Amino acid sequence: MLNEVTKISLDGREIFLVGTAHVSKESVDLVRDVIERENPDIVAVELDEQRYDSLLNKKKWDETEIHKVIRTGKTYLFLMQLLLTNFQRKIGDKLGIKPGSEMLKAIEVAREKDSKIALVDRDVRVTLKRAFNRMSLREKFRLLFGFFSGVFEDEEISEEILEKLKDKDIMTEMMEELSREIPSIKDVLIDERDRYIANKIIGLEGKRVVAVVGAGHVEGIKRIIESRKKENIEKLEKIPESRNPWKYLGYSVPLIFISLVVWGFYTNGTELTIEMLKKWFLINGVLSAIGTALAFGHPLSIMVAFLAAPFTSLNPTLAAGWFAGLTEAWIRKPKVKDFDNLFKLDGIRDYWGNRVTRILLVIVFANIGSSIGTFIALPYLALLL
């Protein structure tokens, strides 16, 4: 329950777990009061380095970083972070308080008290990547559908939801909702983070520790700390290989394609081979181009997607969306206001209207179109034999 402080005694140390909601004025006051009253050696906050820097330094994105996101293939992770951050910010706007205010207050008071500050949460990018690697192809499509049909809705947030979230840690609530929709990743989104945060707290050396965490984590963290079973959390910071057998399909596509073309040449000669190559190029290229057009990509980006898709589909280390996205970034260079507004996106129009997110959507839609084209083209080529 929100606004409760849970005290844990551990080997002569005192740990105070402060359960908060990330957009609650009461949480800000509670955090300040507890730290001032307990005067801890260490104040632990549920932040990773990235979110800590973002809160304190108001980090500005620039074109170089967007190009890095594209080149490293982290478009989907970046979009997911934007969606989570903007949803949290939207709730905060409705409740009249900035998301993360309780963490900022904890850091501020800790500095006033000369207490050490410890960051105890796992990098959200690692959490999301580990979750994606656990998901089946069907679950990824389900997530993608929810991504566009649910989060992009322009509907106003209902009063019922607002009242519910006043007593909730929003990020944990969203993670729990995602876990209900896709049970296979509950362990990564909820249980692993409880274990990670709990063990980070256990490893702190202060005699008195105040840990500011989301209300949804308190029970799990308390249970783990009281069990006194310390765990090596390095394995929770690694991104394991995906266990999804569908990932190997990308490597089988070129083999299947070459086999079909060679068999076509062997049985029917040059004419059929040329026809098969034409169909492959058109089906893959056209569908990737359509995807780029649906993202309102520039005509040149659409053309690049059309030309790149037939070739990138045969190379599992490349994607048509990367080329289309880089073209979009080169032609429609994002302006300063686009980067400034990345965390002020409320609905589908904002995502398509912002030049940065439009680049990301061009990548996503071009890749989806190319993937659909591959699944259609291969059986079609087989039918031509």
pLDDT computed for residue 176 by the predictor: 64
Distance CA 219, CA 131 (A): 22
193 contacts 27 by C-beta, under 8 angstroms: no
Q: For residue 2, name the pLDDT band (cuts at 50, 70, 90).
A: very low
What is the rounded average pLDDT of the residues 31-41? 94
What is the rounded average pLDDT of the residues 240-265? 76
Distance CA 300, CA 366 (A): 13
Q: Per residue in 318-361, pLDDT tens? A: 889 989 998 998 888 877 666 666 667 666 777 777 888 888 88
Q: Please, which residues have CB within 8 angstroms of residue 379's CB and are 6 or more apart in sequence? A: none
Distance CA 45, CA 29 (A): 15
- Burial (Cβ within 10 Å: 0-12, 13-18, ≥19) of residue 331: middle
Whole-number mean pLDDT of the chain? 80
Query: Helical H runs in the chain?
Result: 25-38, 49-57, 63-71, 75-95, 101-113, 124-134, 137-149, 159-166, 170-181, 186, 192-202, 218-227, 249-268, 270-294, 299-312, 320-331, 336-340, 348-353, 355-384
What is the rounded average pLDDT of the residues 30-59? 86
Query: What SS3 class is residue 61?
Result: coil
60, pLDDT greater than 50: yes
Q: Per residue in 173-209, pLDDT tens? A: 666 666 666 777 778 878 889 999 999 999 998 899 9
Q: Per residue in 91-135, pLDDT tens? A: 666 666 666 788 889 999 999 999 999 999 998 778 878 887 777
pLDDT computed for residue 230 by the predictor: 82
pLDDT computed for residue 347 by the predictor: 66
pLDDT computed for residue 196 by the predictor: 94
What is the rounded average pLDDT of the residues 220-235? 88
**Local structure of residue 232 (DSSP, 8 states):** -
pLDDT computed for residue 316 by the predictor: 83
Q: Per residue in 290-326, pLDDT tens? A: 999 999 999 999 999 999 999 999 988 888 998 999 8
pLDDT computed for residue 77 by the predictor: 65
Bridge partners, residue 17, by sequence: 6, 211
Distance CA 16, CA 222 (A): 10
163, pLDDT greater than 80: no
Q: For residue 237, name the pLDDT band (cuts at 50, 70, 90).
A: confident
pLDDT computed for residue 1 by the predictor: 42
373 contacts 314 by C-beta, under 8 angstroms: no
Distance CA 179, CA 336 (A): 36
Among the listed ranges 57-61, 182-186, 254-258, which one has the minimum average pLDDT value? 57-61
Which of 257 and 169 is assigned the larger pLDDT?
257
Q: Please, which residues have CB within 8 angstroms of residue 224's CB and are 6 or more apart in sequence? A: 194, 195, 198, 199
What is the model's pTM?
0.69
- Residue extents of the structural domains in the chain: 5-243, 246-384
Pairing of strands 208-214, 42-45: parallel
Distance CA 193, CA 187 (A): 9
Which of 334 and 213 is assigned the larger pLDDT?
213
